[in-house]
Chains A and B, each alone.
Chain A
Amino acid sequence: MAEQTLRQWLLTDTPTSRRHAKLSALYQGWLSFRGNTMAMIGLWILVALVAIAAAAPLISPHDPFVQDLGNRLAPLGTDGHILGTDSLGRDILSRLIYGSRITLYIVALVALIAPIAGLLVGTVSGYVGGWVDVVLMRITDIFLAFPRLVLALAFVAALGAGIENAVLAISLTAWPPYARIARAETLTIRSADYISAIQLQGAGAMRIITRHIWPLCISSLIVRVTLDMAGIILAAAGLGFLGLGAQPPSPEWGAMISEGRRFILDHWWVATMPGLAIFTVSLAFNLLGDGLRDVLDPKGGE
């Protein structure tokens, strides 16, 4: 099939099969996403991050854990150490490259746990209503009432320091806003005619929630997740900075800033480089989130 006809095939108004209709909808979403330059920049940064994390052993110039005390705190542009070395003489660039794996690990785990828990609680609460709604929403309120980092600190203190516990703590504090969003969406969807129509086919609550309400909630949740990612990376970095997240010698970006803090006046690059990495990735997630909102929001488009 020639390229021009493939494009026409994807953009047709009269799809001929289930797969065709799905692909066509996906392609049209991609076209409108591609039109947003800032979102594409965000996407490319994140694609680059994933590529770097995947290829870390191949592209990092040094072992991130090998110490070289004779060459400690080398400045930027030192021969063989483009971004300098830290207080133990470890190559900062290599540590940043390996640290991207930890960042992605945190982001992926939190993005899997928090929105799904929030979606489940919010949609059940909104659709079932009554005392189920009251109980679930008061639990949500309790979690919302604590400042996020303080609650995460309490969890980490109780469970012990470490990257898995930090992820768990962040997820436990991150789900309530998703539950609120999902519940608000569900309340507007619940009384729609198309929900009445499927009730008239004898569909049960479980089917209605998972097949009819979730698809409409997920787009706003995805947008919210990408916008929250920056905050999650910062929270993980904050826990690392406080010594409650990733433990040395792990090259987690927040922990690297924490180590570099002692030398920040004389050797600024030790703390600044991981800070720039956090900034770049957070910005990329924000840009991506903005672009996704334009594509996914069913009220906005066209």
Chain B
Amino acid sequence: MTMLEIDALNVWFGHGRDRVDAVKAASFSVARGESFGLVGESGSGKSTILRAVAGLARNWSGRMAVDGAALTAKRPRSFYKTVQMVFQDPYASLHPRHSVDQVLGETLHLHGFADIDARVVKLLEDVGLGQKFRFRYPHQLSGGQRQRVAIARALAPEPDLLLLDEPTSALDVSVQAEILNLLVDLRRDRGLTYVMVSHDLSVVGHMCERLAVMKDGQIVEVMGVEALRRNAATHPYSRSLLEASL
């Protein structure tokens, strides 16, 4: 069963002479329950693929399908109950004037849940934040706590597919490990499918089963994580990327 299927995806920004092709003819598929990594240097288009899947990058062509249903330009509400995203920078992804309670409560309200209070409490427990964080504002939280709130928000609609856009790159090393372990636990408990963008090969090696290496908007190689561990990449660019990270 494929959870996410991407076929000959092109994404671009601007038009005419200013057009920049961020993703060129990218194809890969992610099975249900799998964790898939996208690696590559800055500007290689890995985050853009996630934004295109989420509907945040509007100029795209090719075919994208989530759970067998092809995606259109305008996403129906039900789409957001299946696919959610965690952003890179927890300092930018929470509204500065909304408390944790407001953030989660509004998300639950938008998805039509009735028992909002109970669910907010449950979500905070699930991401390892206690009740005492419920009415805090983002400036009263640390980076790791903020990212936990962002993960709770993404989990609120009970999605199947979670898009993770470098969820730990803005955090301290010790906090990174906590968040990664939390993500591993959540996937195991809820049977989630992950597509994770990272430029850190060790993070991808820890989290993912398969990965795609991207360069200049193209996918140069898709390989299993055991190939990564055996250092058995075939494409010269993935080899150089592997060597650089050793």
A interface residues (Cβ-Cβ under 8 A, vs B): 13-18, 20-21, 25, 192-194, 196-203, 211-212, 215-216, 298, 302
A21 in contact with B135 (CB, 8 Å): yes
- Contact pick for A202, options B56, B80, B137, B153, CB 8 Å: B80
| Secondary structure type dominating chain B contacts | loop
Residue in B closest to A19 when the chains form the complex, CB atoms: B135
Known: A16-B135, A20-B135, A216-B96. A200 touches B77 (CB 8 A): no
B92 in contact with A200 (CB, 8 Å): no
A21 in contact with B99 (CB, 8 Å): yes
A193 in contact with B92 (CB, 8 Å): yes
Known: A199-B56, A201-B110, A202-B75. 6 other contacts (CB 8 A): A16-B135, A21-B99, A194-B92, A194-B95, A200-B54, A212-B95
CB distance from A9 to the nearest CB of B (A): 13
How far is B96's CA from A14's CA once the two chains are assembled, in angstroms?
17
How far is B88's CA from A193's CA once the two chains are assembled, in angstroms?
9
What residues on B are CB-neighbors of A25 within 8 Å? 137
Cβ of B124 under 8 Å from chain A: no
B93 in contact with A14 (CB, 8 Å): no
A15 in contact with B80 (CB, 8 Å): no
Residue in A closest to B139 when the chains form the complex, CB atoms: A302
Residue in B closest to A302 when the chains form the complex, CB atoms: B139
- Contact pick for B92, options A20, A192, A211, CB 8 Å: A192
CB distance from B170 to the nearest CB of A (A): 11
A193 in contact with B135 (CB, 8 Å): no
Q: Which 7 A-B pairs have the closest CB atoms?
A: A193-B93, A21-B135, A15-B135, A193-B92, A14-B132, A193-B87, A194-B95
Cβ of B5 under 8 Å from chain A: no
Sample of 19 A–B contacts (CB below 8 Å): A13-B136, A14-B132, A14-B136, A16-B135, A18-B99, A194-B93, A194-B94, A194-B96, A197-B85, A198-B106, A199-B55, A200-B55, A201-B111, A202-B75, A211-B106, A212-B95, A215-B95, A215-B97, A216-B96
- Residue in B94, B96, B97, B139 whose Cβ sees the most chain A Cβ within 10 Å: B97
B97 in contact with A216 (CB, 8 Å): yes
Contact residues, B104-157 vs A (CB, 8 A): 106-107, 110-111, 132-133, 135-137, 139-140, 150, 153, 157
B interface residues (Cβ-Cβ under 8 A, vs A): 54-56, 75, 77, 80, 84-85, 87-89, 92-99, 101, 106-107, 110-111, 132-133, 135-137, 139-140, 150, 153, 157
How far is B153's CA from A203's CA once the two chains are assembled, in angstroms?
14
CB distance from A42 to the nearest CB of B (A): 25
A18 in contact with B140 (CB, 8 Å): no
How far is B103's CA from A211's CA once the two chains are assembled, in angstroms?
11
Residue in B closest to A197 when the chains form the complex, CB atoms: B93
A21 in contact with B137 (CB, 8 Å): yes
CB distance from B42 to the nearest CB of A (A): 17
How far is B85's CA from A21's CA once the two chains are assembled, in angstroms?
28
- Contact pick for B107, options A21, A201, A215, A216, CB 8 Å: A201
A197 in contact with B153 (CB, 8 Å): yes
- Residue in A21, A192, A196, A200 whose Cβ sees the most chain B Cβ within 10 Å: A200
How far is B156's CA from A202's CA once the two chains are assembled, in angstroms?
13
What residues on B are CB-neighbors of A197 within 8 Å? 85, 87, 93-94, 150, 153
How far is B92's CA from A216's CA once the two chains are assembled, in angstroms?
14
How far is B107's CA from A193's CA once the two chains are assembled, in angstroms?
15
What residues on A are CB-neighbors of B87 within 8 Å? 193, 196-197
How far is B138's CA from A197's CA once the two chains are assembled, in angstroms?
15
What residues on A are CB-neighbors of B84 within 8 Å? 200
What residues on A are CB-neighbors of B89 within 8 Å? 193
CB distance from B156 to the nearest CB of A (A): 8
CB distance from A267 to the nearest CB of B (A): 54
How far is B107's CA from A198's CA once the two chains are assembled, in angstroms?
8
What residues on B are CB-neighbors of A211 within 8 Å? 106
CB distance from A129 to the nearest CB of B (A): 12
What residues on A are CB-neighbors of B101 within 8 Å? 18, 21
How far is B101's CA from A21's CA once the two chains are assembled, in angstroms?
10
What residues on B are CB-neighbors of A216 within 8 Å? 96-97
How far is B92's CA from A14's CA once the two chains are assembled, in angstroms?
22
Residue in A closest to B51 when the chains form the complex, CB atoms: A196
What residues on B are CB-neighbors of A13 within 8 Å? 136, 140
What residues on A are CB-neighbors of B133 within 8 Å? 14
How far is B180's CA from A224's CA once the two chains are assembled, in angstroms?
45
